[in-house]
Amino acid sequence: MKIVVFGATGRLGRHVLGSLQQRGVPAGDIIAAGRDLSKLGDQNVQAVHVDYADAATVRTALRTADRALLISGGDFGQRVAQHATVIDAAREADIELLAYTSTPRAADSAMSMAMEHAATESHLRDSGVPFTILRNSMYLDILTEQVAPQAVARGVIDGAAGKGRMSPASRAELADAAAEVLTGEGHAGAVYELGGSRSYTMDDVASAIAQWSGRHVEYGDVTAGEYQAMLMKQGMPEKVSEIFADTQLGIARDEFYVDSGDLARLIGRPLQTLEEALATTPLHNDTHGS
């Protein structure tokens, strides 16, 4: 069985490649499709250059495939059309299963980012391609790799998430869930809400980081407009900063809170908590500031 991973050159995609091999899929049966193949490193899989906006490259990647994973792209505002290109090519190739990475409760979410996911899900349902939807919550890795070092250095986490709760899960766990769907049976037509077993407010995140680092860290809640202005001051483009600020409001509405238990059931093991993830994260001296 040959499996294509679209978006394989991203962080989640690289985890999926490893998880597939851990499940016994021969490297020669894994097709890693992405824009920048240099990011694959020395992984011994088939590598195919693919651009979601280029239908010919998508069709080439799917030519010999049985199943595929479509990891959502990062071109905000263009993703619905790009994802449709992959879905339509999968239909032409008579793919037996296409899995798609979405966001929690995409069909009901008010976030602008989620609307692109909802439109993709709708196109996938209407396509006739057997599908599985993987609605991934917030990445736990973002909190440990990006938020935590900045929080320790500054003593504050800025955001507009209020008291909203989220259920972060690691990329490795979400990749294992994707690999299970791609290699297992009985997943066609399923919509999985995937999140961690523990939920956190941003105040909880700040407390966990403070305990891990031994430094004072607090969460500073601001309005979405103020948060967007902060991001733009740091050099983020206006449109992207608007989406990020809108996502904070989604957190405030508990739109990243997941209590389905789907992830733990799919991968068959307890899920990592934020505290456990931080315990294995190096605390560098240069994050302490002056």
pLDDT digits (tens, 9 = 90+) for 26-42: 999 999 999 989 888 88
Position 208 pLDDT exceeds 70:
yes
pLDDT category, 212, cuts 50, 70, 90? very high
Share of the chain above pLDDT 90, in %: 90
State both tokens at 276: 């456990």
Mean per-residue pLDDT over the chain, rounded:
95
pLDDT of 1 over the 70 cut: yes
pLDDT of residue 195: 98
Per the confidence metrics, is the pTM higher than 0.85? yes
Under 8 Å between Cβ of 151 and 217: yes
* pLDDT confidence of residue 42: 80
- Looking at residue 287, its pLDDT comes to 44
CATH 3.90.25.10 intervals, the chain: 140-166+197-258+272-287
Does the structural domain 140-166+197-258+272-287 have CATH classification 2.60.120.20? no
The segment(s) of the chain belonging to CATH 3.40.50.720 are 3-136+171-194
Give pLDDT, residue 285: 52
Q: Bridge-partner residues for 93, per DSSP?
A: none
Task: Provide long-range contacts, Cβ within 8 A and 24+ apart, for 22-29.
Answer: 22/179, 23/179, 23/180, 23/183, 24/183, 25/1, 25/183, 29/1, 29/2, 29/3
pLDDT at res. 29: 97
- Determine the average pLDDT of the residues in 236-251: 95
Q: What is the pLDDT of residues 55-109, one digit of tens each?
A: 999 999 999 999 999 999 888 888 999 999 999 999 999 999 999 999 999 999 9
pLDDT at 146 over 60: yes
Cβ atoms of 274 and 217 within 8 Å: the answer is no
Do 199 and 232 meet the contact criterion of CB atoms below 8 Å apart?
no
Q: How confident is the model at residue 244 (pLDDT cuts 50, 70, 90)?
A: very high
* Superfamily of domain 3-136+171-194, CATH level 4: NAD(P)-binding Rossmann-like Domain (3.40.50.720)
Considering the chain, what percentage of its residues have pLDDT values greater than 70?
A: 98
Over range 173-201, report the average pLDDT.
98
Distance CA 78, CA 161 (A): 26
Residue 288's pLDDT is what?
A: 39
Question: pLDDT tens digit string along 253-279?
Answer: 999 999 999 999 999 999 999 999 999
pLDDT attached to residue 290? 29
